Structure 1
Amino acid sequence: MVLEPQAVITEDEREAGLRHLVIEAAYSSGAVALTGGVILTAFALHLGASNLMIGILASAPFLTQLLQVPAILIIERTRARKRIAVLTSIFGRLMLLVMAATAFAAGTAPLLVFLAAQYVLCGLSAVGACAWNAWIRDLAPEDRLGRVFARRTTWAAGISLLGGLTAALILEQTADGSTARSFAFAGKFLVGCVTGLISARIVSLMPEPRMPPAGERVGLAVLLRAPFSDRNFARLMGFVASWQFSVNLATPFFTVFIVEQLRFDVSVVMVLSAVSQLANLLALRTWGQLSDRFTNKSVMLVCAPAYILCIVAMIGASQFDERGLVLGWLVVLHALMGASVAGVTLGSTNIALKLSPRGSATAYVAANALATALAAGIAPILGGLLADFFASRQLELLIRWTSPNGIWSFPFRLTHWDFYFLIAGILGLYAIHRLSLVREEGEIERAEMIGEVLALTRRAIRNVSSVAGLRAATDLPVSLLRDARVRFRLARAQSREAKPRERP
């Protein structure tokens, strides 16, 4: 296992590294699919975790990102990003064995061990991610970032989908609180550990470009001064912080909401997660192409509002009495959330890398992660603390229509987790405002893009009765793609003409 950086990387080595970058996503996402997200929350509920414990558990991947701050100094001094990424991955994934062992114990102690192991895993992952992101920023060509990461995320979404469906089938065969379910959880974490170690092995095969020679040692404050003094990047961090706070105030409790308030089994949550992953997988290629042809910001300005609206619409699940209607509502929302979050995730990752200077991206990436950590880590803990407060409160509005034929009424109630979804929506609107302030080269005016989308929608509605109309409803607006290409060519030509004029 060679973990040293290379002074020269050939084109063949770079292409092989990019292929490994895509393939590795299958194993790392497999580990996450079996040990994170819904499975992790369901495991905690199986062990008897309270709402506060669920909030603390959900905050682990974010609060531990604060470790990227000292990781900056470690990377700048050792200049061995690959070594750090591989070793932290190996030792972190071994924590999954510790978590698997808690499945057969009862009481508060196993829960605390479970929580501690998760924090160690996430802490090591945070240090490794700081090295990984800066390393990949120097390895992947900028003009191919969208396509490369779209393929990588497609692999991740596909494996996550299969893993989610498999987990749902296994949980469906076990009774809630049974010994069989304990074995099911332990088995998932054991397999997750193995696939995670395979992921680390594949990462070790990727080449690492050697960092520029280190100058004089500088303090942490000096390293972080550049991203925070970069006005445009600071605006991006403002969006990231507000977005992560609004989203993570509610989404970590989706599983609790569906299982405890709506009274569905955990296997239903896994199926819903699989639906979301499938929608994510189908949408990724489109968002990747759009992020390359337009800009990441343009994609995010379409996807972020859609995702926020879906969170608020989760309130509708508690308004219906018919179980089939509730389940259908949840399926639609999870499909829309999966498709929209694909664009937000891909766009936010790419724009952070794009706005980071090549060769010195470590501090920029870590500063962005720092903003994410503080906002996304505080939100679920605050949600867990306030869970009992909202559980004992209810807001009810009565919509009543009176006519000669009788009276029709519809009570609208907000209870418990419904308050979180509404608050998350309000905060999400502010996050979208912060995104509008970020400047990305080549971006398309939001009003024009929305106008094109609305025009396409109107045409699709007029033709919805025909097969062609149904097909048009799933197509991208051709005029929008054409206009984008024209703008890019015009901007490129103007840039070439301006350069000779600037020469003395």
Structure 2
Amino acid sequence: MMWLAPQTFVTEAERERGLRLLVMEAAFSGGTAALTTGVILTAFALHLGASNIMIGVLASTPFLAQLLQLPAIMLVERWRRRKMIAVVSSLIGRAMLAIMAALAFFSGTLPLLLFLAAQIILCGFGAVGACAWNAWMRDLAPEERLGRVFARRTMRLSAISLLLGLAAAFALDLTPAGSFARNLVFAGMFAIGCVTGMISARVVAAMPEPLMPAAPGPVRLGALLREPLRDLNFRRLLAFVASWQFAINFATPFFTVFIVRQLGFDVSFVMVLGVVSQVANIGALRMWGTLSDRYANKSVLAVCAPTYIIAIVAMIGASQFGSRELVKLWLVALHLVMGASIAGVTLTSTNIALKLSPKGSATAYVAANAMVTAVAAGVAPIVGGLLAEVFAARRFELLARWSGPNGVLSLPILVTAWDFYFLIAGLIGLYAIHRLSLVAEHGEIERREMVNQVISETRRTIRNISSVAGLRAATDLPGALLRDARLGVRLRRARAGKAARDQS
């Protein structure tokens, strides 16, 4: 398995090829994630008859499994073969998707338990691989290009999620709930996810891995984890990460349950909302990547994080409207806002942890960040699932009344069930934003200035799209691809002719 071994020296050409593969691989790993996680995972659990508690446990599994990064640190630091760890872990974990695909034809407690066990194995090996992957990427990608490289990668992830989300929504819309056809749809999603996951591992294996510096001595887990904890600024970042992850994962895993059970919409509509969110995600990613490289990750977070929290709290409005069409429009608008804002949060929260980690020995810092994320994001949905029955039996009603010469206007505001989750998430989110203000990052600017930069970038994009120059630029890529394809054909023909002449 020499092709999985690290390289003593990585040339600039090999590094650039690795970065291109990093972006290309996103299409395959993104396909796996799009068809087997998020809304589809929750919808599949509901299809199998899962309770609110089971949904909370399933939502927490990917995060709590990250605790396996603790032993993974030891594995990486002692073995020092990050690519091999990442590839082998990916192959073993994603094989579980084939088992999940088979469970689509069954229902009851046993299939749900098997489904949970397969999810635990998948997420567990994924966590081990992620520990090696993150430290590997820290040494492969140049620091000054982190934002742009991962923005392109995230755009590829979002694009494939968009396309497959549309296909999944269409397939679910054509099949009635509980039917054999619906079983086939879910089985097909997880089977395809398994195949694309295996292809992803093969692409990752072709990327170069720089050799890790020699270990200064015996590796001790306690000493490794104390290193980032001694860093005051990184501790502040961890405090933000913990509160932020708890806030968003307390409520967002139950969006599907809220929309399907409380609002009465079909799962296919939830998938459409996911597609809407992905469209906004793709549209905003390039801007966030550019701004994070030009200024600082924290400056982008200071705009995106409050926007996302406000959108979560605003989900309460969906249960206040009487018109279903108005509810649909409200949900679509919120998912546009959440998609655009979470793009910036996801990109910059990863980058800021990498940026504040010392180069060459980032494993402990990255893993400490992952540990905090795992515990906070893993505990939050379990707490939410356990409290589901408590909130279901309670309601809070506020009556706003206006009296005047022309009569009395009453506006009742009723908060029930999942609405409580959105309010609590908003309060915790406010605390998270306060913790973010204490983190120091080189190059950060004030929130107001960043908002002005966002407006300027948006106006520039709109002008480019609406102008002749912008339209010409939009056609440059397909034309360039066509010219490259023609040149490639001519080159292959010339080589084939030369080979034939040499043989004769």
**TM-score, with structure 2 as normaliser:** 0.90
How far residue 469 of structure 1 moved from its aligned partner, in angstroms, is 12
Read off the aligned partner of 1:249 and give its amino acid letter. F
Per the TM alignment, residue 449 of structure 1 is displaced from its structure 2 partner at its CA by 3.8
The Cα shift of 1:403 comes to: 2.0
- In the alignment, the residues of structure 1 paired with residue 259 and residue 178 of structure 2 have an alpha-carbon distance, to the nearest angstrom, of 17
Structure 1 Cα separation of the partners of residues 369 and 98 of structure 2 = 31
Aligned position for 1:337: 338
Other-structure match for 2:90: 89
Greater alpha carbon shift after TM alignment, 215-224 vs 266-275 = 215-224
Q: Give secondary structure in 1 for the equivalent of 2:441.
A: coil
**AA of the residue aligned to 2:398:** L
Q: Distance in 1 between matches of 2:208 and 2:247?
A: 38
Give 1:234-245 correspondences, 5 Å limit.
234-245=235-246
Indicate whether 1:420 and 2:421 are aligned: yes
Counterpart residue identity of residue 79, structure 2: T
Residue in 1 that maps onto 2:365:
364
- Aligned counterparts of 1:328 and 1:107: Cα–Cα separation in 2: 36
Q: Which position in structure 1 is the counterpart of 2:192?
A: 191
2:325 is aligned with 1:311: no
Q: Determine the C-alpha separation between the residues in 1 that align with 2:85 and 2:113.
A: 28
Measured in 2, the distance between the counterparts of 1:17 and 1:259 equals 43
Cα distance between partner residues in 1 of 2:51 and 2:322: 27
Give the SS at the match of 1:249: helix
In structure 2, the partner of 1:480 is: none
* Contact 2:304-2:341 at 8 Å conserved across structures: yes
Match of 1:252 in 2: 253
Does residue 67 in structure 1 map to residue 71 in structure 2?
no
Letter in 1 for 2:12: E
Which residue pairs with 2:473 in the alignment? none
AA in 1 matched with 2:445: I
Structure-1 residue corresponding to 2:21: 20
Tell me the residue number matched to 1:208: 209
What TM-score results when the alignment is normalised by the length of structure 1?
0.90
User: What is the match of residue 287 of structure 2?
Assistant: 286
Cross-structure match for 2:383: 382
Secondary structure of 2:398's partner?
A: strand
> Match of 2:421, as an amino acid?
Y
CA distance in 1, matches of 2:48, 2:462: 48
Matching residue's letter, 1:266: V
Counterpart contact for 2:300–2:450, Cα < 8 Å: no
Equivalent residues of 2:78, 2:219 under 8 A apart = no
Which residue matches 1:487?
none
Q: Compare 151-160 and 401-410 and name the one that shifted more.
A: 401-410
Determine if the alignment matches structure 1 residue 220 to structure 2 residue 258.
Answer: no
Determine helix, strand or coil for the equivalent of 2:97.
helix
Deviations 1:58-116 (A, max 9, x none): 00110000000010000011000000000000111100011111111121000000011
Q: Which one-letter code corresponds to 1:412 in the other structure?
A: I
Counterpart position of 1:265? 266
The Cα offsets for residues 306-338 of structure 1, whole Å up to 9 and x where unpaired, read as 000000000000001100000000000000000
- Amino acid paired to 1:177: G
Q: Determine the C-alpha separation between the residues in 2 that align with 1:446 and 1:32.
A: 33
1:131 matched residue in structure 2: 132
**Which deviations, in whole Å up to 9, do the C-alpha atoms of 1:323-357 show, x marking residues without a partner?**
00000000000000000000001010110100111
The one-character-per-residue Cα deviations of 1:120-148 (angstroms, maximum 9, x if unpaired) are: 10000000000000000000000000000
Q: Deviations over 1:39-65 (max 9, x none)?
A: 000000000000000000000110000
**Backbone CA RMSD of aligned residues:** 1.8
**Equivalent-residue separation in structure 1 for 2:447 and 2:105 (angstroms):** 53
Distance, in Å, in 1 between the alignment partners of 2:352 and 2:129 is: 20
User: How big is the shift at 1:370?
Assistant: 0.3
Name the amino acid aligned to 1:161.
Answer: L
CA distance in 2, matches of 1:107, 1:277: 33
Q: Deviations over 1:267-317 (max 9, x none)?
A: 000000000001000000000000011100000000000000000000000
Q: Give the Å deviation of 1:404.
A: 2.2
**Residue 491 of structure 1 aligns with which residue?**
none
Query: Counterparts of 1:39-188 in structure 2 under 5 Å?
Result: 39-188=40-189
**Counterpart in 2 of 1:7?**
8
In 2: Cα distance, 1:409 partner to 1:88 partner: 59
Give, in whole Å, the separation in 2 of the partners of 1:209 and 1:469: 39
Partner of 2:296: 295
Structure 2: how far apart are the matches of 1:312 and 1:334? 12
